[in-house]
Amino acid sequence: MKKVPLLLFIFFLFPLIGVSQGELDVQQKAFYRNEKSIGLMLNSTGYGLSLRYGKRINFFNKRIFEGDISILKHPKEYKTTNPYFPNNRRFVFGKLNFALTLRGGMGFQHMIFKKIDQGGIAIRYIFSGGPSFSLYKPIYYDVLYHVSLYEVEVNKEKFNVSIHKPEDIYRQSSFMKGINEIKIVPGAYGKAGINFEYSKQDRIIHAIEIGVTFDAFLKKIPIMASEDNLWFFPSLFVSYRFGRIIDPKTPLPENPEFNISEPGLSPVSIGY
C-alpha cells in the first residue's frame, strides 16, 4: 500500500486537533440536518470523486446515499520513458488498459462525538456498500519501426508483451484512442471510515475522512500484461469533503438577535 493517504491524514489531522477547543458555539442550528457533500479522494489504487447525500434518521444517525468514481490502478504500475526520448510523456510499460470504478450505494453514518465548541471536531463513523462497475479501455502506444537506416515509422498499437520493448515505444497515444472499445465488468463494493468534521459554521461542511474500501468484480480486470491481474481490490483512502447542511423544514430566522431561548418562544412557534 502507498503511504501517501496515511501521510495526508497525519498532515490534516494535527491542525484539527490544535483547534479542537474554541469559542462557545452560539449559532442557530439546523434541526433536521440533512446534508449534501462532495469528496476529493486519494487512495492506494488511484484517486477519485465522491458525491453523498445524508438523510437524518435521528440526532445521532443518518442514512447516506453515495456515488463514487475512482481511477483503478494495478499495484505494480511504474511510469517510465523511452531512453532515447526522455522528454516525452511518461507511460506505464506493459499496461494494457486504463480502468476506473463506478460505485453507487447506501449506508449509515453514526455520530460518536458531537461538536461542542465553535472550533471543535465532530467525529462520525460511516459504512456503505452496493453495486460497482469497472470500466476499462485499451491503451494505444506510438510504436517506432525502423524503415531504413535514417527513416522511422510510427504506428499506433496496443501493447504486445512478445514484441514491444521500452525503446520501441515513443510515447502513449491520445487518451481518446480506443474510447469506442470500452468494456464493463460488474461487481460490488463495501466502504467503512471515520469522518472528522471541523467547520466553524453550522450549515457548512468541512471534513477529513479516512477509511477502507473493497471492490470485488466478477472477473479479473486486465490492467497489465501479466498473470497477476486482480478481481479484488482492497484500498485505503483519505478524502476531503465539503458541502452544506440542508433543513427541509422552515429555515431559521436570519436575525442574529433572535434567540429561541427567550421567554414565550418554543420550537413549535418557529416552524419546527
Q: Give 1-55 pLDDT, tens digit per residue.
A: 444 444 454 444 544 444 444 454 545 554 557 999 999 999 988 899 999 999 9
Three cell numbers at 14? Answer: 494535527
Task: Provide DSSP, 37-94.
Answer: EEEEEEETTEEEEEEEEEEESSSSEEEEEEEEEEEE--TT--EE--TT-TTSPPEETT
> Phi and psi of 162, rounded to 5°?
-80, -20
Nearest to 191 by CA among 235, 154, 160: 235
Q: What distance in Å separates the CA atoms of residue 19 and residue 120, rounded to the nearest whole number?
A: 7
Residues 49 and 69 sit within 8 Å (Cβ to Cβ)? yes
Determine the pLDDT at residue 6: 47
**Is pLDDT at 94 greater than 80 in this prediction?**
yes
Q: Does the 4-137+178-270 domain belong in CATH 2.40.160.20?
A: yes
More confident residue, 149 or 153: 153
SS3 (DSSP) at 15: helix
More confident residue, 206 or 151: 206
Q: How sure is the predictor about 150, in pLDDT bands with cuts at 50, 70 and 90? A: confident
**Is pLDDT at 221 greater than 60 in this prediction?**
yes
Q: What distance in Å separates the CA atoms of residue 174 and residue 142, rounded to the nearest whole number?
A: 9
Residues 207 and 9 sit within 8 Å (Cβ to Cβ)? no
More confident residue, 89 or 220: 220
**Is pLDDT at 165 greater than 90 in this prediction?**
no
Three cell numbers at 19? Answer: 483547534
Three cell numbers at 71? Answer: 481511477
Per cent of the chain over pLDDT 70 is 79
More confident residue, 92 or 266: 92
Per cent of the chain over pLDDT 90 is 55
Determine the pLDDT at residue 147: 81
Q: How sure is the predictor about 184, in pLDDT bands with cuts at 50, 70 and 90? A: very high
Q: How sure is the predictor about 88, in pLDDT bands with cuts at 50, 70 and 90? A: confident
Q: What distance in Å separates the CA atoms of residue 56 and residue 129, rounded to the nearest whole number?
A: 18
Mean pLDDT of 106-123: 88
Whole-prediction pTM value? 0.76
Task: Give the domain ranges of the chain.
Answer: 4-137+178-270
Determine the pLDDT at residue 124: 96
- Give the CA distances from residue 66 to residues 71, 103, 105, 128, 153, in Å, rounded to whole numbers and listed in that order: 17, 8, 6, 8, 48
Mean pLDDT rounded to a whole number for the chain: 82
SS3 (DSSP) at 182: coil
Determine the pLDDT at residue 268: 40
Minimum mean pLDDT range among 23-32, 50-59, 66-75, 210-219: 23-32
Determine the pLDDT at residue 180: 95
**Is pLDDT at 259 greater than 50 in this prediction?**
no
The number of CA neighbours under 13 Å toward the Cβ of 147 is 6
**Is pLDDT at 223 greater than 90 in this prediction?**
yes
Nearest to 72 by CA among 93, 45, 91: 45
Determine the pLDDT at residue 11: 46
